[in-house]
Amino acid sequence: MKFAMIGAGAMGLRYGILLQEAGNDVTFIDTWQPHIDKIREQGGVYQMRDHQDRHLVKIKLETPESYNGDPDMLIFFTKQMQLNEYLRRCAHFFNDRQYAFTCMNGMGHIEKLQKYFADDKIIGGTALIATVLPGPGEVDFMGKRGAGKLNMCPLTENPDEMTHRLFDELQKAKMNPTLTDDFTGTLMTKVIFNSVINTICTMFEIPMGEFGNFPGANDMARQLIDEAYDICARADIHLVSSRQEEIHAIDINTRIDMPLHYPSMYQDMTKDRPTEVDYINGYIAALGRKYHYEAKTHLFVTQAVHLAEFHRQNL
């Protein structure tokens, strides 16, 4: 299949390189000039796995303006606040035959994609995998080959032939896809998961295991999860895990699967980039207001992360 990765950051590179290794035609599209310059100078991207085995991977890299190909599938991996600008700059090569797939964190991106793609061409998902961009031209895949998994669901909730072809290519690329049947429920379950781990680890600048091993971790998680699940019940969103399953997943992910990992929100903050908190806890709180529910804890932690960003800007 012919893919265009829109955003060649940590996740765009991970998905794109694995799809390329599985035999697909992949072009990476990016706008961050130091990254573009470094990749061109090196003749590719230096890829590591868990900080080891640093080696050069050749990739095809374009900017939105220089690309004029016609991919079957566009995979969007930008940060939430970058997406509108990417869509505007890439729109000249979009057509109504192409599909848009994304496993970005947070919420708000689907409405933006809908301005450019028909509903039956949008496939959403969630990625349970950790990847780091240590600097321009370098990417570090965390976890062993075949680690991590993803959920995917077409916006129509009716998988067509292209959804199945994408699923097959992701499976060949060892990305462990699962096809789910509830679009919003799938995405919101991950938003709630991130609303606990990403946010708390970012506020306190700690790796995930330090949160997971804290004796009060379950109580903190329970407070955020209860508010979010109450709101989703009011909004008639059917989450794919129960409250207890979500707490259990957070416990395993932080203590056992990735204790040394710092979530991407933390990585953004420490690189003086804005975080996605408004699209995660902020989104949950805004959804609550729509249904006359004041998500006090989500509102508080959203501002706490902004305070941490503000503090860093003033260092």
Return the residue of 3, 4, 5, 11 that touches ligand NAD, per CB under 6 A. 11
Q: Determine phi and psi for 127, rounding to 5 degrees.
A: -115, 125
| Cα–Cα distance measured from residue 302 to residue 200, given in angstroms and rounded to the nearest whole number | 10
Choice between 115 and 271, CB closer to ligand NAD = 271
| Cα–Cα distance measured from residue 282 to residue 290, given in angstroms and rounded to the nearest whole number | 13
Is residue 32 involved in binding ligand NAD (CB under 6 A)? yes
Q: How far is the CB of 118 from ligand NAD (least distance, A)?
A: 23
Residue 127 neighbours by CB distance under 10 Å? 22
The gap from C-alpha 249 to its chain's centroid, in whole angstroms, comes to 17
Choice between 147 and 299, CB closer to ligand NAD = 147
Contact 24, 2 (CB under 8 A): yes
Is residue 18 involved in binding ligand NAD (CB under 6 A)? no
Q: Determine phi and psi for 164, rounding to 5 degrees.
A: -70, -35
Strand order in the sheet with 122-128: 60-62, 25-29, 2-6, 73-76, 99-102, 122-128, 149-154, 177-179
Region 159-198 residues binding ligand NAD, contact defined as CB under 6 A:
none
Is residue 35 involved in binding ligand NAD (CB under 6 A)? yes
Return the residue of 27, 264, 275, 281 that touches ligand NAD, per CB under 6 A. 264
Is residue 257 involved in binding ligand NAD (CB under 6 A)? no
Q: How far is the CB of 77 from ligand NAD (least distance, A)?
A: 4
Q: How far is the CB of 106 from ligand NAD (least distance, A)?
A: 6
Q: How many residues bind ligand NAD (CB under 6 A)?
A: 27
Return the residue of 5, 12, 188, 257 that touches ligand NAD, per CB under 6 A. 12
Half-sphere exposure of 155 (CA within 13 A, CB side): 17
Number of H helices, E strands in the chain: 12, 12
Q: How far is the CB of 272 from ligand NAD (least distance, A)?
A: 8
Is residue 273 involved in binding ligand NAD (CB under 6 A)? yes
Choice between 102 and 163, CB closer to ligand NAD = 102
Is residue 78 involved in binding ligand NAD (CB under 6 A)? yes
> Which DSSP letter does residue 77 get?
-
Return the residue of 4, 73, 79, 117 that touches ligand NAD, per CB under 6 A. 79
3-class secondary structure per residue, 4-62:
EEECCCHHHHHHHHHHHHCCCEEEEECCCHHHHHHHHHHCCEEEEECCEEEEEECCEEE
Of residues 274, 281, 273, the one with CA closest to residue 300: 281
Is residue 148 involved in binding ligand NAD (CB under 6 A)? no
Q: Which two tokens stand for residue 32?
A: 């961050």
Is residue 64 involved in binding ligand NAD (CB under 6 A)? no
Applying CB under 6 A, the span of 126-134, 161-169, 222-230, 239-247 interacting with ligand NAD comes to 126-134
Give strand ranges (E) for the chain: 2-6, 25-29, 45-49, 52-57, 60-62, 73-76, 99-102, 122-128, 131-135, 138-141, 149-154, 177-179
Applying CB under 6 A, the span of 59-67, 99-107, 226-234, 235-243 interacting with ligand NAD comes to 99-107
Return the residue of 20, 47, 105, 254 that touches ligand NAD, per CB under 6 A. 105
Return the residue of 39, 87, 113, 133 that touches ligand NAD, per CB under 6 A. 133
Is residue 9 involved in binding ligand NAD (CB under 6 A)? yes
Applying CB under 6 A, which residues contact ligand NAD?
7-12, 30-32, 35, 77-80, 82, 104-106, 127, 129-131, 133, 264, 271, 273, 276
